[in-house]
Chains A and B, each alone.
Chain A
């Protein structure tokens, strides 16, 4: 199973709402990533988790709160977002051992619209 799943596929939320994005993989990967992709732009790294611990936060605003409850799950909690946060949010996972880097496996993304 080389699949990364993301739910929901689409999400529309108001600026006062609280919502969560979910990502799941069962490949035994111990590194998981959140990316943000705006239209016609490359994916931009937001967060990296390794062994369920936050390793990289690319100066992301606190209205985005990541969580890695176990080695298969990655969540992104959203609160008080702005319209400019509307984007495709991609989750990815990769192996974590010496001799890398290993390719990342991406989910299909969650298309988020903030109204």
Chain B
């Protein structure tokens, strides 16, 4: 039972344009959502997060939008750069007393074409 899904396994975008990565979840108890980026042979690196009580969070070129009624979130990268090419994981957290019980989505491989 995959509680966090990223339905697009891959995405190609021209440099300078917007990249939109999507994520759907099923568990309404998730209280925080996070996006991680992963390069080959490295561990995931945190990008941005959003609380379930918010609908938008912005950090530089990265913006995450949350639509709770649709159980959907998206990551927007503007403008996209070749260095953004990586696998992006959406992750959902279920509050567990300070530590995190995180479920990762299946990942979307982003390729930014120069």
Q: Is the CB of A100 within 8 A of B34?
A: no
The number of A-B residue pairs with CB atoms under 8 Å apart is 74
Range, interface on chain B: 20 to 34
Specify the main secondary structure of chain B where it touches its partner: strand
In the assembly, what is the distance between CA of A101 and CA of B104, in Å? 15
Chain B residues near A48 (CB, 8 Å)? Answer: 96, 99-101
**Cβ contact of B99, chosen from A50, A107, A108, cutoff 8 A:** A50
In the assembly, what is the distance between CA of A101 and CA of B98, in Å? 7
A76 at the interface (CB under 8 A from B): no
- Binding-face segment, A14-22, A39-47, A61-69, A77-85: A39-47
Number of interface residues, chain A, beta carbon within 8 A = 29
In the assembly, what is the distance between CA of A88 and CA of B24, in Å? 25
Interface string of B22-39 (1 = CB under 8 A from A): 000000000110101000
* Contact status of A31 and B98, CB under 8 A, knowing A41-B106, A43-B104, A103-B34: yes
Apart from A45-B102, A56-B101, 4 more pairs, CB < 8 Å: A56-B99, A98-B98, A101-B100, A102-B100
B residues contacting A by CB (< 8 A) are: 4, 31-32, 34, 36, 41-46, 49, 89, 93, 95-107
